[in-house]
Chain A
Amino acid sequence: MSQATTNSGVDVLGNLAWGTHLCHFYETVDDLLDVVAPFFEAGLKNNEFCVWIVNDPVDIETAVAALKRDLPVAKCHLTKGDLHIFSKSNAATNGSRGIHIVPHTKWYLSNGRFDGERVRSVWHAIYEEAMQNGYAGVRAAANESWLNEGDWGDFVKYEGSLDSLLADLKMLVVCSYPMDKAKANSVLDLVGTHEFALARRDRKWEIVETPDLKEAKNEIQQLNNELEQRVADRTEQVRSLAAKLDSAREEESARIAREIHDELGGELSGLRWDIEEITETVSLSAAEESAIGKQLRMLIARIDTMVGSVRRIASELRPTALDEFGLAEALRLYAKQFEERTGCTISLGGLAGTANVSTEMANAMFRIVQEALTNVLRHAAATRVDIDITPEGGQSVLTISDNGRGIRQEEMDSPGTFGLVGMRERAELLGGELDVEGCEGRGTTVTLRVPAAHARSVEVSE
């Protein structure tokens, strides 16, 4: 049971928020009991302090009899004497599982006249007591058939103030009104002071929403809509920032790659030439030749290796070809290098249609291919990879499929090792989606689908 609501016991009402105050129109005694009995049944189940204020046609004896019949388990405590029976000692001796039944005369009237102020203070007192004695809340039903013309104005005012009284309390109040006594404009007055009304129509209980409730609901709907709009805006902001971050990252990678490639590469070349110069200008004796000469040649070989590393590192960071020549060439080059490095065969298709792809799209596709091929190398034990870019119904579809062992479900579920999270993020930045499927023993397929807006491809004859 959530803190904010409690079970009303009445089917058509369901759970109600604490502080709810509703009115209920009845024609027959059965109508009255039909609502009040299950109402209290639920209250007893929840360890709530139950109060029933009774009047004709249901006086105390009838009330007790009815409850005994409908809720045999309930204990009914008839109040005797004053309202101040709700004292600690009484509650203790009376036991907590009971419904306190009070005649309206003792509740609402003082000196025979309705006294709103006093009733309000009584509600307060009862609530305090109940809370102190560990009850989950206070549940009250009141039969207002005693009302007459003279009291009407005051009573409506009192009902109106009951709302603010109940607002922060764990109290639930049902006020029952006899249909025959209520005139049309009175009904409107009443409905206006309660959150909603319950009435019987065609033997079924129906809820009548009061204007206040309707308005509240509308306000909530509006706030909801506003909230959704704000969330959408913020999501768009976040996405745009993520895209910017990605661009910045790529630019940074490009810059570093260029420096490594050109600066380091240049220095290494100079170094190589210097060592070569030594081998060419220094004349060595035969003995020196076999020692020093050999070492110098080894140094040159090591520099060649370093140059290879520089090229590879720069290329992994960001291949110049991607910026200089575009996605198709960059992929061809990368594929060729991969083939040479791993012995895998790579087939590329559909590259002609990538000529007019946006920079973001080219970056994302390249990086996804890079990640996928890294996975193939590390995990798949494959001999062949097919990479294709195909337009398909307003989308651009990139597929990378290998003939390796096939990624397993648990590997997909722990995406860290396979860079799946990164790949999916790239896909999302483009407003697309990424799928990974593994077929045991037959291979893995990575599919990227992106809306064509990002990939305006044009047929280019090579």
Chain B
Amino acid sequence: MRKILLIDDHEVVRSGVRRILDRPPGEIEFGEASTPSEAMDRVRQHAWDVIVLDLSLGGRDGLEVLKEIKKLRPRQPVLVLSMHAEELFARRALKAGASGYITKNTPRAELSAAVEKVSRGGTYVSPELAENLAFDLRGATDGPAHESLSNREFEVLRLIASGRTVGEIAELLNLSVGTISTYRTRILEKMGLKTNAELTYYALQNNLVE
């Protein structure tokens, strides 16, 4: 008989998930826990086919419980359930050893499929999440250094390269000298340069000023 452990401090969620998975009824043995210590007790009792774990258990304890479970039984499949849709949480859960991440506001059929996949040793993330995670891994686009500047910064760059002083630029753009100074620092940093002279040289080289 398959054994599924449900760990969530909300009764309504536990019974909801239970009803979704209990098809056909009676073929699965369910365990339930609503606190970290209860959860670990259950995990120690025996191995489970799948553990469905609420990431926000007791507020912040879900991740710790996940790590504990993985320490105790490294091959235990855990599907993390969460209200948080952001990939930040998914990424962190997966890194900590979860086999899948699914939000609570998912249709029953999808939840059922996710549990199924994870119990068979697979990984599950929703298609949308998968896309976001992949995007994150891509890293910064390559291009000329000055393309990383904002419009305002670019404007300041060109003015500096044309020989204007910070004071003149401030007046031109109707901003304070302090603000222009900050922009200048940031431009130099983003472009990896050290002086106005280097900036001017770069601008001339790249035909940004006449």
**Segment of B148-156, B157-165, B200-208 in the binding face:** B148-156
Q: Determine the chain B residues whose CB is within 8 A of the CB of A447 once the complex forms.
A: 178-179, 182
Q: How many residues of A contact B (CB 8 A)?
A: 47
Mark interface residues in A255-287 (1 if CB within 8 Å of B CB, else 0): 000100111011111101110110010000000
A445 to B174, CA, bound (A): 11
Cβ-defined contact, A445 with B186, below 8 A: no
Q: A388 contacts which chain B residues (CB < 8 A)?
A: 186
Name the interface residues of A423-454: CB closer than 8 Å to any CB of B: 435, 437, 439-440, 442-443, 445, 447, 449
User: Number of B interface residues, CB 8 Å?
Assistant: 40
Main secondary structure of the interface of B (DSSP, over half): helix
B16 contacts A386, C-beta separation under 8 Å? no
What separation, in Å, do the CA atoms of A262 and B82 have in the docked complex? Answer: 9
The one of A258, A269, A320 in contact with B16, judged by C-beta atoms closer than 8 angstroms, is A269
Q: How far is the CA of A303 from the CA of B16 in the complex (A)?
A: 15
- Asked whether, in the complex, the Cβ of B86 is within 8 Å of the Cβ of A269, the reply is no
Give the chain A neighbours of B181 by CB distance below 8 A: 392
B59: CB under 8 A from chain A? yes
With a cutoff of 8 Å between Cβ atoms, the chain A residues found around residue B186 in the complex are: 349-350, 388, 390
Chain A residue contacts of B148, Cβ below 8 A: 349
Chain B contacts of A261 at CB under 8 A?
Answer: 56, 83-84
- Can you give 5 A-B contacts (C-beta < 8 A)? A273-B16, A277-B108, A329-B88, A386-B153, A447-B179
Interface residues of chain B, those whose CB is within 8 Å of chain A, are 8, 10, 12-13, 15-17, 19-20, 56, 59-60, 83-86, 88-89, 92, 104-105, 107-108, 148, 150-153, 173-176, 178-179, 181-182, 185-186, 189-190
Residues of A within 8 A of B (CB): 258, 261-263, 265-270, 272-274, 276-277, 280, 303-304, 307, 311, 320-321, 324-325, 329, 333, 347, 349-350, 384, 386, 388, 390, 392, 397, 399, 401, 403, 435, 437, 439-440, 442-443, 445, 447, 449
Given contacts A258-B56, A437-B174, A437-B179, 20 further A-B contacts (CB under 8 A): A258-B59, A262-B56, A262-B59, A269-B12, A269-B13, A270-B12, A273-B19, A273-B20, A273-B108, A274-B16, A320-B84, A324-B60, A349-B190, A384-B150, A388-B186, A390-B189, A397-B182, A399-B182, A401-B150, A447-B179
